[in-house]
Structure 1
Amino acid sequence: MTKLSVNINKVATIRNARGGSVPNVAQVAIDCEKFGAEGITVHPRPDQRHITINDVFDIKSKIKTEFNIEGYPSPDFIKLVKEVKPTQVTLVPDAPDAITSNAGWDTKINFQFLSDLVDEFRSVGIRTSIFTGTDTEIIEYAAKTGTDRIELYTEPYATLYPKDAEAAVQPFVEAAKVAKRLGLGINAGHDLSLENLNFLYKNIPFIEEVSIGHALISDALYLGLERTIAAYKNCLK
């Protein structure tokens, strides 16, 4: 079964636009869990422009599902993750000022750096996932780091999907097959939506987790959070 992890960064963005605690980010995490999400994802950034450090600790103390913290492994990020001890840490090669994630790691160039991080997080019982593209060599080097999983960066799939769904998904199918052969768990995320999620799932049914935030929170403005989560979970059948 492919699990749905809801990225709640955008909820924090709305709250921070006015300050205060409306909407309540931790309560949204609890409600996502109640409505059927199997995981909660956050991506704290150095400027805390959406998810804050306090949010991370608050959410961890209140949810029962899997908790995934993603981000660039700066010293502060590493310290935070080791203190919080989420179910999973997803390592993303974001610049501090990046609006959103826009590329996977070059695992060949960053092999030793990533290997050391994987060892560090796994030594305290945290599952690791490395954000990658579909290049076979990149995935092979990811496997050599000892990581538990990779997360396939799906923005290229989402961009091409409306024009040619088969061409859009094919590199991801091949990448997933390579990852599976190497013993890696496979996650996927970025620009996945109600429009394109089911086609990805049907072609790669052994994906373990999809992490979805922007589209899901946007859909919830019209459908409500409970109906939206149900609709996304229906795409994973």
Structure 2
Amino acid sequence: MEAIEYVMKLESVSLLYEKNIGIKNLTIKLPRGCVYGFLGRNGAGKSTTLQILSGVIRPHKGQISFHNEQSPFVKTSWKKRIGYVAQDPVFPHNVNGVQTAWFLSQLYPKWSNSRFIEMVSAFQLPLTRKTETYSFGMRTMLSMALAYACDPEVYILDEPTAGLDPVSRRIVLDLLKQETALGKSVIFSTHIVDDLFDNCHYLGIIDYGQMLDEGAIVKFGESKNSLEEAYFQLIKHNKPSGHVAINSR
């Protein structure tokens, strides 16, 4: 059996906002060339975990690895190879899509204008409008286009299909398949079981800031209903240790 190559890992990572509030001793492994679905209730710690993986915030303890390099936090050199889409993207005030793209292009060495235009055209985004006039879905689309233009090795996406119309949602999901076929890796959180079952190779289930189970998607069931039931059973029988309450999303 061929060994699995992991492009990123969190190993025993913790980030506590207050005593017993946050993620604790979390280990997560992102395989190369796969779509990894990240599932959990609201407040389970999904966004905090993805922010740590993307380098937006630093954990209090634990190790992060990128390929074969280890560090207690995501290094700047790693960030240039990661595309991150936040759950609620925020852009600088009083700038339009073109100006936002120009700024980001100065930071990412593999920036591709053609990739940016390709994705913006697919979404039909009005780039000359100020980003503060964008709807929630349009901000997500712009963020996806920016991440794609950076030509990253790893995509870290926090509910990237939330608020999107059916056409735009399909564009995003097709993009994930296209990029992983090229050997890139994706981790994305969602509450849509259909998206997980139809698009993911791996699944991680988090609750109260701790990983309940992780593995190939087939481990959790061979249908959407059985996957959903496996998730419900894991959550149902999980009891928080030390009365953990999570205030992250």
Instruction: Give the alignment's TM-score, normalised by structure 1.
Output: 0.41
Q: Which has the higher contact order (CA 8 A, sep 6+)?
A: 2
Structure with the largest fraction of strand: 2
Instruction: Give the alignment's TM-score, normalised by structure 2.
Output: 0.40
User: Which structure has the larger Rg?
Assistant: 2
Structure with the largest fraction of helix: 1
